[in-house]
Structure 1
Amino acid sequence: MITLRKANERGGADYGWLKSKHTFSFANYYDPKHMGFSALRVINDDVVAPGAGFDTHGHRDMEIISYVLSGTIEHKDSAGNIKTLPAGEFQLMSAGKGIFHSEYNASNEEELRFLQIWIEPNSFGDKPGYQQKDFGKEVGLTTILTPDGENGTLAIKQDAKLHQLILEPKQQYLFESNNAHVYVHQVSGSSLVNAIQIESGDGAKVLDETELVFENESNTPATLIIFELPQV
């Protein structure tokens, strides 16, 4: 079963310096029908004004993923990590027993856009951790996160995987999974998922489907992220 979550149905916030779209309930946006999916709790599509950002704030017991779509993030945290995260890179911060961090738009001229993703861990009170990597833009499926960090992926503290799928125009891809819970987010472009049309910003909850056929019928490339999630 596939349940579509249209981009224009998401919650949102506009603080001037930050414009955000929330796939699931977050901050002042609350919808009891959209509290998350399996261990996936947050997908925020954030646009940050030049020179602005999130002041130092704390997290604990959450796996926090940032995927930069345009611009560059300046990151600092209480574990001593001072990093820049340019467009195309993925960051995984394991908050563990507690961490403080700040995130700023590194540019004073251009907007920063990134996806902020939260996944609940399966272990708690651990030492905080930080990982970052550019996985490139290879056409087809690229695995980003796995529980054990296999094959150069980022290691997440959950029985979950995250994949990036890039489809060229008129390309088709068969995705097979044994997970009962899969979530698809269309990052850019449009595609068909088992003949269901999804556009940029749309999401799809997938239950008990062992095969997903992705098709890009448009004349421009399409990028998606695919979550394989645990039974919780």
Structure 2
Amino acid sequence: MSKRRRSVILPPMSLFAATFSEAFSLLATFDDRVAEIVVLSLRVSGGAVLIGMLFGLPLGACLAIGNFPGKHTLSVLMNGLMGAPSVVVGVVVYLLLSRSGPLGDYGLLYTPAAMVFAQSLLVIPLMAAITRQVIEDAWQRYAEELRMMRFSWWQSVTTLLYDCRHSLVVAVLAGLGRAMSEVGAVMIVGGNIDRATRVMTTTIALETSKGDLPLAIALGVVLVVVILALNAFAFAMRGWAMRRYG
């Protein structure tokens, strides 16, 4: 007489606890998959934020103190692009980098470089819009003083960017949060290729759909901890700078 195997169905709370227990076990043992995905995520998002700082901060400052035709239109455009759908940006970058696109010869599609490119297009308008507001407030206070010192337009931009550097941490953190939480664009241009272009957000989406919840939760915990740690560090550095320099 053969015995019938009966599957064991865990109660909801037991399944919840078991999933989180396995997730924290992955973190405690420094699982190679988790480490590799986290490092790639930090590389891609860090590169996008660096590009955002190089282009977004000066652009926002120029919009704040510049006086040129189309200034208000460009300001409205920057504010509108702050909430640009990531999938739309991903499709545009895909068309640019595809074989038939203008940048297809460089072979960047489905590489981390393509992901950095897509995330940069998302964070630059956000950082520029926040910077414009910060520098505009400072320009109202120091405009006459800078004019009396005969500062050129570009000298005024660089001076105010340096003077407001502690307040601009908010713009950098906003860009970092947008980059690290992005899914749609990097999924389209990166392809979510294992051990090549798979970052935390795309892995969470994939593993959740596959039912591998422990890995998804482990990466989610890392993502939240990284963002909170960076925000805490930036807040502490800003507080220290304000106490030291006033």
TM-score by shorter chain over 0.5: no
Between 1 and 2, higher relative CO (CA 8 Å, sep ≥ 6) is seen in 2
TM-score, normalised by the number of residues in structure 1:
0.24
TM-score, normalised by the number of residues in structure 2:
0.23
Q: Which has the larger strand fraction?
A: 1
Q: Which has the larger helix fraction?
A: 2
Report the structure number with the largest CA radius of gyration: 2
